[in-house]
Chains A and B, each alone.
Chain A
Amino acid sequence: METIIDAGDVWKMEEITDAADAGKMEEKTDAADTGKMEEKTDAADAGKMGEITDAADVGKKEAVIDARDVGKSYRLYDRPFDRAAEALSFGKNMRSTEKKALSGITFKVHRGETVGLIGSNGAGKSTLLKIIAGVVKADKGSIKINGKVSALLELGAGFDPDYTGYENVMLTGRIMGINRDEMEKRVPDIISFADIGDYINQPVRTYSSGMFARLAFASAISTDADILIVDEALSVGDTFFQNRCFRKFDELKRRGVTLLIVSHDLETVRRMTENCLWIEKGRVRMYGRSRIVCNAYAAEIHQKENEDYSRLMNNEDRADDSGYLVHTYSGQTHSGQARSGLTYSEHTDCGGGTGGSVEDVQPKSSDIQDGMEVLTFCSDETWNVEDYPAMDIHEGDILNEHVRIRSCCFLGENGKAAGELKSGRRYTLVIIFETEIDLKECIVGYVLQNKKGVSIVNSNTLTVRGGKTFELKSGSVCRVSFSFLLPYLYEDEYLLDTAIANGPSVMINEMLTWRYGALTVRIRNERPCLAVMDIPAEVRISSKQL
């Protein structure tokens, strides 16, 4: 029991850090428009940790970006001439239709902060960046930029395709206000960082996209900028270059450079940034601690997928795993023998299985072959939710109020909670959740990912049990456990997401809850594992005399 409590403490610690940082956020978003999510997060996190919030604010430096009620609308014209005619005319003109790109954007970024910018396509991210970079003027509100901005907008860096890399680097530096002698001193470093060698004397239009991006990035970071804007610029580089960029970001951060990163890769944002601004339809949807914002954003993506799902379900036909349309199952058939699952009831806690449950108590340890089989616990053992570390859930993690994850932890072979896992040993991942609604086709799954956001394992009850879902009645609590031999994984910290869905297949289901980073676990290796994973192998060595 002791270890379980330990694990619980880890949880709380994490919450405290989050809340402390979220405090900063509250101050920034107070005037921002009132997204539903935002309010809740602020109230929840700031309320809990009032004093720590103040403490975290002390020592914060001045705001380098101070946007107040910034708005920008684009006007759409049938012909470019109409645009000119309207701009030149004195009275009001109705030659255009207005399209709001941004409105009511209010936020602050402090010196040395790293801020991510996320949002779906067309949300207004690029427009906001252009306003910060000074390329586009906002037509409402005010934006104060305190410092020199260096921007990589849409992969470009103000490079002239006809000029050589050298000429472009020199010009960019001088446009940024660095004199020629100083730039000449910096060029060798830029060339070596961009790793383009003799190509520096070729016109940049002959560069590959990777070379172009590398040089643009190298040039942008060597202009003594106070604010660096990186718009998707890293996505074209290879992994080596990306890693080098990330290291460079750390160095820049230490120098007090403020970074603004746009990426569609949520993992990059989560990893690279402290705070995150989520823009949707030209408005601030949420601004705060990156992990919270990214989770809420991802949750909304899932919600959209859910809507697609329900649309599909409303039609008589729907797509199956393979993408073909198959006939919809009607609700009643689920209880039939073929699709029988485990049914828990509140009173019995477990073991209340219907006829089908027996066949589900599948492989015993001896049957386990590759160390990856899954046991579905439905035996006679008794369990209490209270025995497991409780889980706090952010607003952003909940898609459906009626299904709540109560606990999620790894148990070692001794049955105690483990915060550190050793490769090659047997562990049981326990996920406990409760539902207030009937779940006809329940699927419980998890994703184990490394710090780079690469999914190592993505598994769920449906796939490992050969396409079977299970049924849960409303008002029940369910414990699902996956028991497996942990493969030899690269020694590092890993994140575990857990999710509960309802639906007939992996492709078609309604995501009920998706808890990002439910667990952080450290995996240790007794023998070195140099790649993402190592596999247990039978090795035979034979030799003969020549």
Chain B
Amino acid sequence: MKESVKKAAALAELIRDMAALDVTRACKDDAFGILWLIARPVVTVMVYYIVFQILFGMSVEASGTPYAVWFLSGMLPWLFFAETLGGGVLCYQEYGHLVKKINFPVRTIPAIKVLAGLYIHMIFLAFLLSVAVFCNHIRKIRLPVLLYAVMCLAVFTGVLVKLCAVIRPFLKDVSELTGIILTAGIWTVPVLWDFRKVPAGLRGIFAINPMFHVIQEYRRGLGCGEGECRVLSGIMFWLVLSLLAAASEVVYRRLSPHLADVL
């Protein structure tokens, strides 16, 4: 018993360090290294910010929330979701050597990817908090809610990565599918637009999307609104999540023994 706890702890530590290595993998040989990792989302955020805030003159009505904080509170979780799912789908290909050459707990490979994404997400959240401090918004931030939101995001993304990644070696199309979902998906959640503009009768439709709950909890945690349709979206989130978790586990168990053969 004690032995297995020790082993699990060692594995967790290993996963943590592998995730840290994974963060820098993409830009290992670049002169500016990790700066590029941060540059890409920063530019994305800036483009949206300039277009919507300055060109379209959008603002968040009747809450007195600084637009930058409101915008980032929706955009950062979505960026994490998009980047982690987009990259995580390929995790078994990327770590094929661990699947094929040594006896590695293959199940933990998606976790490496999610954890690596979380590391970068943390840097952005720290940036967001400093913006909040700058805008004199810091008092409105509810840390427990924010932590819950991060947890929801990580778990949901993790389950999706697990499901998609294990199918991907068999079915290349999974990459195209996730690409489309991510491109279109950003408009199905109130990241770039204000949910309060949606007519009350239609709101329930949006609440079915599990990412809706995640975004709304981020907004709530960062003091940008009270989160409409909370109960419905909360129930939907956990319902969809448990269904997905069960499905991904079934698929994983059936497909993972074949991984070493197809990679």
Contact = CB atoms under 8 A, between A and B. Distances in A.
Given A81-B170, A81-B171, A84-B255, A136 B104 contact: no
Contacts of A83: 170, 258, 261-262
B32 to A, nearest CB: 17
Contacts of A87: 254-255, 258
A473 interface: no
Contact of B101 (A157, A171, A179): A157
A167 B103 contact: no
B7 A177 contact: yes
A74 B262 CA distance: 11
Given A84-B167, A171-B18, A156 B100 contact: yes
Contact of B260 (A130, A156, A158, A167): A130
B251 interface: yes
Contact of B102 (A88, A161, A162, A175): A175
A174 interface: yes
Nearest to B257: A137
A135 B261 CA distance: 10
Interface of chain A: mostly helix, strand, loop or mixed: mixed
A80 interface: yes
A163 B251 contact: no
Interface string A135-174: 1110000000000010101101111111100010001101
A135 B99 contact: yes
Given A151-B102, A156-B100, A175-B14, A80 B21 contact: no
Contacts of A351: none
B98 interface: yes
B28 A156 contact: no
B210 interface: no
B170 A175 contact: no
A364 to B, nearest CB: 64
A453 B170 CA distance: 46
A180 B95 CA distance: 21
Given A87-B258, A156-B97, A167-B21, A133 B171 contact: no
Contact of B103 (A81, A84, A133): A133
B163 to A, nearest CB: 12
B3 to A, nearest CB: 11
B101 A80 contact: no
B232 to A, nearest CB: 32
Interface residues of A, number: 34
A158 B102 contact: yes
Contacts, number: 82
A102 to B, nearest CB: 14
B171 A135 contact: no
**Looking at A88, A167, A175, which has the most chain B CB atoms within 10 Å of its CB?**
A175
**Looking at A160, A163, A174, which has the most chain B CB atoms within 10 Å of its CB?**
A160
A179 B14 CA distance: 9
Interface in A45-100: 74, 80-81, 83-84, 87-88
Contacts of A153: 100-101
B10 interface: yes
Interface in B1-47: 7, 10, 13-14, 17-18, 21, 25, 28-29
A159 B103 CA distance: 13
A415 interface: no
B100 A88 contact: no
B2 to A, nearest CB: 15
A149 B170 CA distance: 29
**Looking at B13, B29, B98, B262, which has the most chain A CB atoms within 10 Å of its CB?**
B98
B254 A136 contact: no
B104 A88 contact: no
B138 to A, nearest CB: 37
5 contacts: A133-B102, A149-B103, A174-B14, A175-B14, A180-B13
Given A130-B260, A154-B101, A175-B104, 15 more contacts: A80-B169, A80-B262, A84-B171, A84-B255, A87-B258, A136-B261, A153-B101, A158-B102, A160-B97, A161-B97, A163-B25, A174-B10, A175-B102, A179-B10, A203-B28
Interface of B: 7, 10, 13-14, 17-18, 21, 25, 28-29, 95, 97-104, 167, 169-171, 251, 254-255, 257-258, 260-262
